[in-house]
Structure 1
Amino acid sequence: MYPQPYLDYLVQFHVERDYFECHEILEEYWKSSPPEQRKAVWVGLIQIAVALYHQRRGNQNGAIKMLTSAIRLLEQHREDVQQLGLDSAALHLLLTKRLEEISTGIAYRSLCLPIREEALQRAYEHACALRNAPVSRESDLNDHYLMNKHTLRDRTDVFAERQRQIDLREQRRKASEK
C-alpha cells in the first residue's frame, strides 16, 4: 500500500535520524516517475528532512528557507499528505512550531512525523522490525559523519558520471565538426 522508499524514508527519519539519506531516498523515488507524474508531496517531505539537517548543523537560514518551502508545499497538497497516512493538520502545526523555534534560535531536537493511519503505523513498525530497530530514537549529535554527511560521503560515482557526461558532449562536438 505504501511505497518501500517511503517506508525507508520514515525509518531513516525517525530511527537513524539520517536526514541526508532521507533526501537521497525520496529524491531517487520521486525522479523515478515520469516528470508529468511526479508528486509535489515527495518534495515537501524531502524539504522537511533537509531543513532538519540544516537545523541540526546550526544552519538556521538554510533550515528556515527549507521549512518555509515545505510548509507552503505541503499545505497546497494536504490531500496527498493524508493519502500517505500522515495527519496533515498536525504536521502543519508541528512544522509551523518548529519554524518559529528555529527563527528564535531554539536548538535542534528530534521531531517525529504525525502518523494518522493505522495501516501506515503497522507498515512502518514492520519495516523497523525487519531492521531490528526501535520505532524511534533521538539524533546522535556526537556522530560527526551523520552531522556532516553532505561533505563526507563517497562521491566517486557522481564524479565519474559527471566526467562521462563531459566526455559524451566532447565526442558529440567533435562528431558535429566532421
Structure 2
Amino acid sequence: MNYAEDYLSFLFHFHGTRDYFECHEILEEYWKETAPKERDSHWVGLIQIAVALYHDRRGNKKGAARTLSKALSNLHSKKTELLKLGLDPERLFKLLEDTHERMLSPKPYESINLPISDQSLIEKCQSMCLHEGYIWGADSDMANSSIVDKHLMRDRSDVISERARQLSLRKTRMEDRP
C-alpha cells in the first residue's frame, strides 16, 4: 500500500522522535491541502491525538483529556479511513480509551504506539527511524525540552507581524469612517 509522505513523516515523529508538536504541524498542513473544509476529517482526529499527548507530557492533563476525547469522537466514525492508513481501529479505540482514563487519573504521562496493522508500513517507518538515528517506539525523552516545550521555542515573528498589520488596517478603517 502507498501512503502519503506526510503521513509517513507523522508516524516517524510520533513513534521515533516523539515530537508531537511536529506531528501536529505536519498533519495540519497536509489536512489543509487535502481536506481543508472537513473539520471532522480523520486527519483532524490524528492531529488531536498528537496534541493531546503533547499536553499530557507537559502536565496539562485536563487539556489533554479534553482533546483526546474529541479525537475519539471524531475517529469512531472513521474506521474505513483508519484501515486505509494501516491502523487497527478497534485496537486504536481501546488504546485511546485507556490513555484517556490514565489522563483523568494522577498517573504520569506514558508514550503510546499507534496500533499499525500493515507490517510493510511498520518496516518503512522503522527504516526511517534507523536512518535518522532514532529507535522506533522508544519512550519520550522527558528531559528533552526541544520536544517537551517546543511551543515556547518556535519563531512566532511572522504571526506577531501579521497581527500588527491587521491591527493597523483596522485602525486605518476606523479613522477613514465619517
Q: TM-score range by the shorter chain?
A: 0.7 to 0.9
Equivalent pair of 1:31/1:38 in contact (CA under 8 Å): no
Q: TM-score, normalised by structure 2?
A: 0.87
Q: Distance in 2 between matches of 1:37 and 1:63?
A: 22
Number of corresponding residues: 177
Residues 60-139 of structure 1 mapped to structure 2, 5 A cutoff: 60-139=61-140
Between the aligned partners of 1:123 and 1:170, the Cα distance in structure 2 is: 53
Matches of 1:8 and 1:166, distance apart in 2? 36
Post-superposition offset of 1:170:
6.7
RMSD over aligned CA atoms reads 2.4
Change (3 A) 1:168 1:128: farther
Query: Among the aligned pairs, what percent are the same residue?
Result: 43
Q: 1:41, 1:80 within 8 Å by CA — same for their partners in 2?
A: yes
Matched-pair contact (CA < 8 Å) for 1:30–1:39: no
> What SS does the corresponding residue of 2:76 show, helix, strand or coil?
helix
- Is there any run of 5+ residues in structure 1 with no aligned partner, and where? none
TM-score scaled by structure 1? 0.87
Q: Which residue in the other structure is 1:17 paired with?
A: 18
Distance 1:126 1:40, change over 3 A: same
Distance 1:121 1:167 in 2: 50
Q: 1:40 to 1:167 in 2, by over 3 A?
A: same
